[in-house]
Amino acid sequence: KAGVTQTPRYLIKTRGQQVTLSCSPISGHRSVSWYQQTPGQGLQFLFEYFSETQRNKGNFPGRFSGRQFSNSRSEMNVSTLELGDSALYLCASSKGTSGRETQYFGPGTRLLVL
Amino acid sequence: QKEVEQDPGPLSVPEGAIVSLNCTYSNSAFQYFMWYRQYSRKGPELLMYTYSSGNKEDGRFTAQVDKSSKYISLFIRDSQPSDSATYLCAMSARNNDMRFGAGTRLTVKP
């Protein structure tokens, strides 16, 4: 069974630009969650999508947005990039139908903002 | 105060040692507790999953949850160099909104 895949794996952008990251969940998983990981703040929850609807949201500014498609693939967008947005962005998928499933992480997209 | 506290280490032990990793938390609504292992430049990999209080064992790994003390632990027996990684505790009230500890960097020396 294929795992969670994320593209691109590495990305370099400059301040003020926008970026779109993509996540393909494990087949059969309908929930996709996004996390930001930095050395200073650790892993922080961004948002979760289930059946094309945002179900949970963390404490990030509106520059961070996402969406989910009918095939459960998800994209995350960050507009007006800031230096502090440099991080490893991880997505995780789960079946999403109850409160007891575990999440499986992808390898992440490493974003560097210059 | 953070919702989840975890000593970032680093922790260095000799091969074969028993490793104890711990997290404390403040949110009494947490009921799902997980430990993830993350190798350098990789995504976190689920190691242990526990619902509510109690112990769970899987091979060399044992997870313990004490909800009365808001304290969780992961024990690694007969540690191996391949166990060298960052270990993250995670917990949630509902399973899809996890809160993570800072991660403890572990090195097992041959």
Distance CA A94, CA A4 (A): 10
Which amino acid, B48?
M
**pLDDT of A67 strictly over 70:** yes
Of B43, B51, B99, which is closest to A106 when you measure between CB atoms?
Answer: B43
DSSP string, B13-75: EETT--EEEEEEE--TT--EEEEEEE-TTS--EEEEEEESSEEEEETTEEEEEETTTTEEEEE
Highest-scoring range by mean pLDDT, A7-21, A44-58, B28-42, B88-102: A7-21
**pLDDT of B66 strictly over 70:** yes
Q: Stretch B95-100: mean pLDDT, rounded?
A: 76
Q: Stretch B63-87: mean pLDDT, rounded?
A: 96
Closest-approach residue (CA) in chain A for B33 = A102
Q: CB–CB of A13/A112 below 8 Å?
A: yes
Q: Per residue in A16-63, pLDDT tens? A: 999 999 999 999 999 999 999 998 888 999 999 999 999 888 899 999
Distance CA A67, CA A77 (A): 9
Task: Report the residue of A5, A26, A35, A43 to disrupt the B interface, i.e. the one with the largest count of B CBs within 10 Å.
Answer: A43
Q: What's residue B52's pLDDT?
A: 83
CB contact under 8 A, A105 and B49: no
